[in-house]
Amino acid sequence: MVLAGQKVVLREKRISDAENDYAWRCDTDLARLDAVSPLSMPYREYVGYYADELQHASRQRRRFAIDSLDDGKHIGNCMYYDIDDDRKQTELGIIIGDRGYWGKGYGSDAVTALVRHVFNDTGVDRIFLNTLEWNVRAQRCFQKCGFVACGRATKRGNDFLVMELHRRWTDSIEADSAATLKGDDSKTSLPYVT
């Protein structure tokens, strides 16, 4: 499966991604942004786990590599996970590991492509995420994609802002956009504003 945005392509993970993923997971600054400890296992051991995970994909999550449309370079990863069929919700995660692509819209384009896929191709009605309270850059990215703050959480000694996006909000936004394109600007307000 390939999902296209305006700047990125989301594609299935493959074993050739392991080298970048390992480097990003060992990076102290990137680990801090994800509120985890840097990976310390040897690469050979990591590749074994990585290959096993690719062969035995979980039904509770979908992982994608993020490639730049400009040059085809693998620049990050995104996923939705902890899929709850009863509550029709899932959690979203993203990392742009290649710093050369930071602050240029690649992250928000990847999030938008992933959100479209989730709402168009699954039964999920709510996508949520946890972002560190101090990570304002990430919060701006998610807000740009339509996410709104809905609470706070503390995990492993870190404070997070919980953000969410509902299918009905995106349906309403798309309807407003279609009406505006047709010249009917009587419906131009966002369905939910904080």
- Residue 56 phi/psi, 5-degree rounding, is -120, 65
d(CA 121, CA 127): 13
Residue whose structure tokens are 């299935």:
12
Predicted pLDDT at 57? 83
Integer Rg of the chain from CA: 17
Nearest CA to 132 out of 174, 163, 175, 90 is that of 163
Give 27 or 176, the one with higher predicted confidence.
27
| Residues 99-126, mean pLDDT to the nearest whole number | 95
Nearest CA to 110 out of 78, 158, 135 is that of 78
| Residues 182-194, mean pLDDT to the nearest whole number | 38
| pTM for this model (two decimals) | 0.85
Predicted pLDDT at 87? 96
How do residues 5-59 score in pLDDT, each as one tens digit? 999 999 999 999 999 999 999 999 999 999 999 999 999 999 999 999 999 988 8
Q: Which amino acid is at 26?
A: C
Q: What is the DSSP letter of 77?
A: E
d(CA 29, CA 35): 10
How do residues 131-157 score in pLDDT, each as one tens digit? 999 999 999 999 999 999 999 999 989
pLDDT at 115 over 60: yes
d(CA 116, CA 109): 11
Predicted pLDDT at 188? 32
Domains of the chain: 2-181 (3.40.630.30)
Kindly report each contact of residues 56-64 with a partner whose C-beta sits within 8 Å and lies 24 or more positions away, as own/partner. Answer: 59/83, 63/13, 64/3, 64/10, 64/11, 64/12, 64/13, 64/114
Predicted pLDDT at 182? 60
Residue whose structure tokens are 């850059």:
137
pLDDT at 178 over 90: no
d(CA 75, CA 98): 5
How do residues 44-102 score in pLDDT, each as one tens digit? 999 999 999 999 988 889 999 999 999 999 999 999 999 999 999 999 999 999 999 99
Predicted pLDDT at 58? 85
Give 5 or 187, the one with higher predicted confidence.
5
Extract the tokens encoding 80: 């939705």
